[in-house]
Amino acid sequence: MQTPTNHFKKALAEKRTQYGLWVSLISPLSTEICAAAGFDWLLLDGEHTPSDPMSLLQQSQVVAGYPGLHAVARVPMGHGYVGQALIKQYLDVGIQTILVPMVDTPEQARELVRCMRYPPDGIRGMAATRASGWGRNASYAKEANREVCLLVQVETREGMRNLDAIAAVDGVDGVFIGPSDLSAAFGHVGDPWHPEMQDLIADAFRRIQLAGKAVGILTLDETLARKHVEMGATFIALGTDTNLMVKATTALAGKFKGAAPAPTSTKSQNY
């Protein structure tokens, strides 16, 4: 057996924009519908869903059946003993790329790098797990550090103050800007695209790019998404499975029952 090459990480390093979709419906069936759509990556969300490592495993197995598609998983938290344990479990089921929310300091970022890697570069525990083919891949422990990809999410005032230092941490492959929590932190609850926030996000893009790291973001608005790509977004989610379902089901019911039209606002999004 061979350790799989992380083509998503390679694309980020080569500054090739990767287009993705946020997946919050944790069913393998709904994941498969999204997997067949043609995206470069799917975000399997464990922060704002009742997901667990078993459902994540099932979803990632679905994604693996679609060549060219990459699974990125977001842990509920990344700090402390619980965060360390969750990162280890996510990696052990075979996920290579992990997104960690609420990263506020370079110290936290460095600790996350250590959680992602085996010794001597880190503290990830050794075991014969699914990621290593249950031990059949004898080279996995020596090669895994090269293929794992760490994305950190900056979405607070403290995180923005420390953005340059966070982005400079060796082992952080990309920084994701979380507009919803960030806008709430700056007094614009429910309005992630307030003019002040757009200026702040543009500045964050520049700072992350100066550090030589990939920039990530999510928006449900096509015009904004294209703008973010022009600004240099390297990994961008173009929507969420839940929002797509909300709009489509509400619109269909409205055609026959006169229900309110599907919400189309991009003002309130959970990511």
Q: What positions carry a catalytic annotation?
A: 48
Q: Which of 210, 182, 215, 209 has the alpha carbon at shortest distance from 197?
A: 182
Residue (of 11, 15, 93) closest to 52 by Cα position: 93
Is residue 219 within 8 Å of 179, Cβ to Cβ? Answer: yes
Instruction: Judge whether 118 and 148 are in contact, CB under 8 Å.
Output: no
- Residue 225: left if φ>0, alpha if ψ -120 to 50, beta else—which one? alpha
Residue 32 and residue 30: Cα distance in Å, rounded? 5
Cβ within 8 Å of residue 190, ≥6 positions away: 183, 184, 267, 268
In this structure, are residues 23 and 31 in contact, taking their beta carbons and an 8 Å threshold? yes
In a 13 Å sphere around the CA of 54, the CA atoms on its Cβ side amount to 1
Q: DSSP assignment of 197-240, as one string? A: HHHHHHHHHHHHHHTT-EEEEE-S-HHHHHHHHHHT-SEEEEEE
